[in-house]
Amino acid sequence: MKESLSRREFMRAGALTVLGAAGTVGFSQVSNRPDSLRPEDLPNDICGINTSGQAASRALTGPPFQEGHGNPQDKGHDMASTVGEVNHARNGFNPTDLLTDFDFGQVSTLDNGQTLREYNFVAVDQVIEIVPGIEFPAWSYNGRIPGPTIRCTEGDRVRIRFTNGSTHPHTIHFHGIHPFEMDGVPGAGPGLIHPGENFVYEFEAEPFGLHLYHCHAFPLARHIAKGLYGALIIDPKEGRPPVDHEFIMVMNGIDVDFDDENDFYAVNTIPFHYQNHPIPLKVGEKVRLYLVNILEFDLINSFHLHANFFHYYPTGTSLTPSEFTDTIVQGQAQRGIIEFTYKFPGRFMFHAHVTEFAELGWAGNFDVSDVAL
């Protein structure tokens, strides 16, 4: 008997397009070859959306001139994307804003002269529209995924007042050097912070570099996959060389049906966002990109920059780059700093160099213009 087609296999079959107005899932790159999928091969329900009948037929019908590479109007082989826009206001965050949203906290000076940075974190249950028409019951810190990008300087005192406003126990575990009581895991300090409870995490910021934080309640994979994570940047005391742009990108995935397999991939949560909203740059501008991988359910993630090379600083704990390349691979919780400058104008892709990840949302563009423009 023929096995039923899983939803992930359905998505792998071609580039996913989500029609927001009708809530219909369709494809823009399915071949018309005799062995390509037919409506009768599809499950009747995908993401809660009926795919039978005309909807499935439309989903598998390619655009005009799909096989005609020479036709100037041929769009059948473009990169995958979404049709329409998620409601960023209702989500509570916009990935374009997250790129440069560095949170330096409420700053004061302690009696010993040490800089104190204070933050308020609240864990909440939150529904996120991942792509137009598909919502995800997430958990988040401060109503955004990833959570706030904490930024401080090595040696600062960091104080995070954490309140659990959700319906499940949570914690915050910080990557870095700190006392056992501040580790944010069950059995350390207060252990789990239950709904309605609060705790103050406090430590000195060390070592300098790019780090991260995430919930460490169990099942750990689910607490991370649902959105409880963010980046922690500790600048060296002497600072880093000046650049024209600094961006934060957290690579993540979304398992919308909770089968422990990701259905979408992204940086800063919303698939295809930086493809639909390219990041503007100018020729000659120097970019520093803080890249964190928090992807759950897949062993590795990657970053590839088109038509360029970059200097890479693993974990950001050295001011000397380890390599000059155009592609790097990260396991979960690995992170690094990427620095590059574009020599030529154009619209240049960046994406995961795992094809499935790119076609399911982890792809974007830098829109590089001439300096004179």
HEC profile of 293-359: ECCCCCCEEEEEECCCCEEEEECCCCCCCCEEECEEEEECCCEEEEEEECCCCEEEEEECCCHHHHH
Whether residue 360 has pLDDT greater than 70: yes
Residues in the chain: 373
Residue 6: per-residue pLDDT: 54
Residue 193: per-residue pLDDT: 98
pLDDT band at 175 (very low <50, low <70, confident <90, very high): very high
Residue 352: per-residue pLDDT: 98
DSSP code of residue 181: G
Are the C-beta atoms of 287 and 303 separated by less than 8 Å? no
Q: Which helix (H) or strand (E) is 127 found in, with range?
A: strand 115-131
Whether residue 202 has pLDDT greater than 80: yes
Whether residue 367 has pLDDT greater than 90: yes
Q: What is the pLDDT of residues 23-69, one digit of tens each?
A: 333 333 333 333 333 334 434 443 333 434 333 333 333 333 334 34
Across 132-197, the runs of DSSP E, i.e. the strands, are: 134-141, 149-153, 157-164, 173-174
Give domain status of residue 24, yes or no: yes
Residues 224 and 108 in one domain: yes
Which residue range(s) make up the domain with 267? 245-369
Residue 135: per-residue pLDDT: 97
Domains in the chain, number = 3
The CATH code of the domain that includes 133 is: 2.60.40.420
Boundary (domain end) residue, out of 78, 100, 119: 78
Whether residue 18 has pLDDT greater than 90: no
pLDDT (mean) for 227-233: 98
Residue 8: per-residue pLDDT: 54
Residues 100 and 224 in one domain: yes
Residue 291, strand partner residues? 249, 336
Identity (one letter) of the amino acid at 93? F
pLDDT band at 80 (very low <50, low <70, confident <90, very high): confident
Give domain status of residue 259, yes or no: yes
pLDDT (mean) for 130-137: 97
Residues 97 and 231 in one domain: yes
Give domain status of residue 266, yes or no: yes
Residues 218 and 101 in one domain: yes
Whether residue 328 has pLDDT greater than 80: yes
Whether residue 161 has pLDDT greater than 80: yes
Give domain status of residue 83, yes or no: no
Residues 67 and 43 in one domain: yes
Residues 4 and 64 in one domain: yes
Whether residue 278 has pLDDT greater than 80: yes
Residue 82: per-residue pLDDT: 86
Residue 268 CA to residue 289 CA, distance in Å, equals 13
Among 37, 145, 45, 38, residue whose Cα is nearest residue 101: 145
Residue 117 CA to residue 232 CA, distance in Å, equals 13
Q: pTM (2 decimals)? A: 0.83
Q: What is the pLDDT of residues 249-265, one digit of tens each?
A: 999 999 999 999 999 99
Residue 77: per-residue pLDDT: 53
Whether residue 138 has pLDDT greater than 90: yes
As a whole-number percent, the residues of the chain with pLDDT over 90 amount to 77
Residues 22 and 134 in one domain: no
| Average model confidence (pLDDT) across the chain | 85
Residues 167 and 224 in one domain: yes
Boundary (domain end) residue, out of 27, 60, 78: 78
Boundary (domain end) residue, out of 181, 210, 235: 235
Give domain status of residue 240, yes or no: no
Residues 100 and 15 in one domain: no
Give domain status of residue 53, yes or no: yes
- Cα 106 to Cα 45, 152, 164, 214: the distances in Å are 48, 11, 20, 21
Residues 171 and 289 in one domain: no
Are the C-beta atoms of 176 and 205 separated by less than 8 Å? yes
Residues 178 and 309 in one domain: no
Residues 101 and 217 in one domain: yes
Among 86, 82, 104, residue whose Cα is nearest residue 95: 86
